[in-house]
Structure 1
Amino acid sequence: MFRNSSFKRYFFNSSWMMAEQFLRILSGVFVGIYIARYLGPEDFGVLSYVLAIATFMMAISRLGMDAILVRELVSTPEKRQLLMGTAFWMMVAAALGCYILVGAVIWSTAELVSVKIYASIIAVGTIFTSCLVVDFYFQSQVKAKYSAACKSITLLLMSVVKLYLIFIQADLIWFVIAFLMDYAVLGMVFIVVAFGGREGGFLKYFSWPDAKQMLKSAWPLVLGGVAIQVYMRIDQVMIRNMLGLHEVGVYSAAVRIYEAWAIVTAIITVSLLPAIVKLKQGSEETYHKRMTQLFRLVIWLSVFAAIAVALVSEQLMVLAFGEEYRESAPVVDIIMWTAVFAAMGSVSARYFNVEKMEKKFALRTVLAAVLNVGLNFLLIPIYGIKGAAIATLSCTFFANYMMDWFDRDLKLLLRIKHRAMFGHPFS
């Protein structure tokens, strides 16, 4: 693989994204730990809860453009301004509609008024997700260093702001505003870079025919993206309503460790999407071989990470988050194995996108989300926060592996996964 010049190009592109993500992980670990220690499980639970709500909204407002727009930009680069503008304004409209709808639902519930206010504030960040079209353009051009630079600058700035808030012993609402500014500052930085590179003209373009075409491919990804967030985030919402905010904070600390690793494998697969699109246009044998190698890489890296964390989970949680979070250790032991199947699902999502099987992706994630909700209702009252971790692991295994057994169109994908996992020679 490393002797292949095309692969090396995408590998170094991925390296830029990986470098930015490792910086994000370091920030998430150190700054996140300080925030969790400072706020304590109760307030950290509130923060994690409102962030989970905002994540649902962002999954909808992205409209699956991280896959669809990259694919279209690779296939028709001469239409980049029109495609970017169309995607941008569709995402703005989706964000506004989502904010109004979710806001109405939140304020109609019996939730604490303070929590409603925090959720309303942080959800404003949804609107700034439309600026990510610049990021998607850089991905399509294999120019991840520009995206990485924008994200790193924002990350460093906002990390300093959050540490300053801890230093001055700020109230929880200022941390909510700081997380909102994460999205707002990044969006503005992307727009400034786009204008600096003479790509900002996309803002004046919109095409109904292109919008309809992209939405036709995007709606399964939107449904799938929302379903993914349901089975990755609904546990925090259900823990809040079934156990309390303290337990949300303890559980969220464990999830932070899992997410710090999961983002590594996710960024590898996302950054290689343009390469996968081009491979699909060439030799089928080479395409299948490279997919096998990619599956093998992310699966076994995740297995190694799960074993390594399990050996030191209790010491890790106490050292990192403090004695109040010791009970997070069993949750970490369980949920880190979710990373193995989440990595498998991340590569599978790219496969579905390239093969134009978005409806299958949507179906499996919706079924997994329904399964997760049911398992949470069943397991949380019995096993507490460990039950939520078991539910997440079970539905991720179901969605990203077991469902391949029941679909004749996915027999090839299943064989690729088996060759990746069990080391069978590719023929």
Structure 2
Amino acid sequence: MSTDPPGASPRVLLDTLIARSRGKGLRAIAGNTGWLLGEKVWRALLAALVTAWVARYLGPTNYASIAYALAIVTFFGPVAQLGISNLIVRDLAREPGAAGEIIGTGVVLRMGAGLLGLVGAIAFLFATDPTATGRLVGALIAGQLVFQSAEVIDCWFQSRLESRYGVRLRLVVSLVMSALKVGLILAKMPLWTFALAISLEFGLTAAAIAAAYLWHGQSVGWRFSAHRARGLLHEGLPFMASALAIAIYMRFDQVLLRQIDGVEALGIFAAIVPLAQVWQIVPVSIVASLTPVIAREAEKGPEAYAQALRAMFLLLGALSLAIALLIAVAAGPAVNLLLGQAYAGAVPALRVYGFTNIPVALGLAWNVWATISGKGKLLLINTVAGSVVSLIANLALIPRYGVMGAAVAANLSYFTSALLINYVTCRDMFFLQLGIVRKVRVAE
């Protein structure tokens, strides 16, 4: 049995994982992080290119059906995930001898929640989309909610600092499915085949991860524990609520665009978003590299900690501003080259949406402080604030300004969640994000 407190901060949990992995050490942790980060970079680039090609082939109206279904699935995703993935990784690191019970309980919970999410998503789609094609596309895409339960098995690799196995498999599946989508384009296949391909990617990934688990000598031997299930559900509730709030302020604009401005507006907006978001791999990579450095500076005292955080905020702020300006300059040629003339009207909105890279970068850096300082509870406050602003701003701006209104609303919600709300919840950090060290209290 573990003696670690159930409410341990992310920093304590990291220390626990390191302590329980003495034979592998920091080198293994760095390598594990590198695999996870490399996967994110590669998949983000590949997804952006293939998605643009699919959107170009389908056109704004047809692509809107996929975008709308993905938006609805995103809303039901947090319910299907239950907020327990990181908790399972934690428990597997603490209690490796109880892996059968932990994985078995997690799989049952996630499978059941996935089925509920699937039913809920399909019911919502049938209630809001009157077209037979839209309903078929939505039902096919919603199937991924069940396949995502395989993430529990991948947690076992993560807990052992062996994420490379899951990463390799996901990369292979990603390459295969990207090639398949290109093949569907060249063969001029209908819309529903692309929806099927989206869920098929999750299904193949689930099968591959399960096969890798067995390949590494692990017998299934899973068992369900009602006691552990109750604990996971109780602890996971805040994380699920936070993920739901994030889903609202990231996807509500697309749902509202379809209802107010029509399917073509949704298709145009959904196609330009990945062109701006793909650049987020830059701050993600930098934050992953700087987090250990910031953690070491925190051990030296509050003054060194504050200066290190300030340097990170200034670096990410400057880089994200440069990215936003680059998108503003290159938006026209990029849309014409990747999406085609059918999406030409989206260029102004892409220029505005590109500035969301600034709050995203500052938010990633803020998460480093929250993790190291044990302030993870503030995450829920920030995300709820962002979702509230998203709801209000989109309702106010989309009816009048359409796609451009959605782009402006995205900036307002992102800046609120990543920066402005900190003026209320942790004012010293708000000023530190702006490069101003008012007081050295960031480690309290």
Short-chain TM bin: 0.7 to 0.9
Which of 375, 391, 399 aligns to 1:381? It is 399
Which of 413, 417, 427 aligns to 2:433? It is 417
TM-score (norm 2): 0.82
Q: 2:82 is paired with a residue of what secondary structure? A: coil
Q: Which consecutive unaligned segments of at least 5 residues does structure 1 have?
A: none
Matched residue, 2:268: 250
The alignment status of 1:130 with 2:149, answered yes or no, reads: yes
The alignment status of 1:45 with 2:64, answered yes or no, reads: yes
Go from structure 1 to structure 2 and tell me whether the alpha carbon gap of 1:421 and 1:327 turns closer, same or farther (over 3 Å shift).
Answer: farther
The alignment status of 1:16 with 2:35, answered yes or no, reads: yes
Task: From the CA coordinates, give the structure whose radius of gyration is larger.
Answer: 2
Work out the CA distance in 2 between the residues paired with 1:30 and 1:294: 30
Go from structure 1 to structure 2 and tell me whether the alpha carbon gap of 1:341 and 1:333 turns closer, same or farther (over 3 Å shift).
Answer: same
C-alpha contact 1:51 1:122 (8 A) present in aligned 2: yes
Matched residue, 1:262: 280
Q: Which consecutive unaligned segments of at least 5 residues does structure 2 have?
A: 1-23
The one-letter code sitting in structure 2 at the alignment partner of 1:105 is F
The alignment status of 1:367 with 2:372, answered yes or no, reads: no
The one-letter code sitting in structure 2 at the alignment partner of 1:381 is P
The one-letter code sitting in structure 1 at the alignment partner of 2:143 is V
1:61-210 matches, within 5 Å, as: 61-109=80-128, 111-199=130-218, 201=220, 204-210=222-228
Work out the CA distance in 2 between the residues paired with 1:65 and 1:25: 24
After TM superposition, the structure 1 stretch with the greater mean CA deviation from structure 2, 306-315 or 164-173, is 306-315
Deviations along 1:297-354, one digit per CA (max 9) or x if unpaired, are 6544433322222221111111111111122222221222212212333454565567
The one-letter code sitting in structure 2 at the alignment partner of 1:167 is L
The alignment status of 1:302 with 2:333, answered yes or no, reads: no
Work out the CA distance in 2 between the residues paired with 1:53 and 1:420: 40
- State the shift of 1:357 in Å: 5.2
Root-mean-square deviation over aligned CA pairs: 3.4
Work out the CA distance in 2 between the residues paired with 1:280 and 1:381: 48
Matched residue, 1:211: 229
Work out the CA distance in 2 between the residues paired with 1:421 and 1:180: 48
The one-letter code sitting in structure 2 at the alignment partner of 1:165 is L
Work out the CA distance in 2 between the residues paired with 1:184 and 1:156: 14
Which of 217, 233, 240 aligns to 2:258? It is 240
Matched residue, 1:404: 422
Work out the CA distance in 2 between the residues paired with 1:6 and 1:288: 28
Deviations along 1:40-90, one digit per CA (max 9) or x if unpaired, are 111111111111112222232122234333344445555444333332222
The one-letter code sitting in structure 2 at the alignment partner of 1:16 is W
Work out the CA distance in 1 between the residues paired with 2:433 and 2:326: 23
C-alpha contact 1:292 1:417 (8 A) present in aligned 2: yes
C-alpha contact 1:139 1:271 (8 A) present in aligned 2: no
C-alpha contact 2:310 2:437 (8 A) present in aligned 1: no
Which of 51, 54, 58 aligns to 1:32? It is 51
TM-score (norm 1): 0.85
Go from structure 1 to structure 2 and tell me whether the alpha carbon gap of 1:68 and 1:414 turns closer, same or farther (over 3 Å shift).
Answer: farther
Which of 77, 84, 89 aligns to 1:58? It is 77
Matched residue, 1:391: 409
Aligned length: 417
- State the shift of 1:236 in Å: 0.8
Work out the CA distance in 1 between the residues paired with 2:237 and 2:389: 21
Q: 1:142 is paired with a residue of what secondary structure? A: coil
After TM superposition, the structure 1 stretch with the greater mean CA deviation from structure 2, 208-217 or 413-422, is 413-422
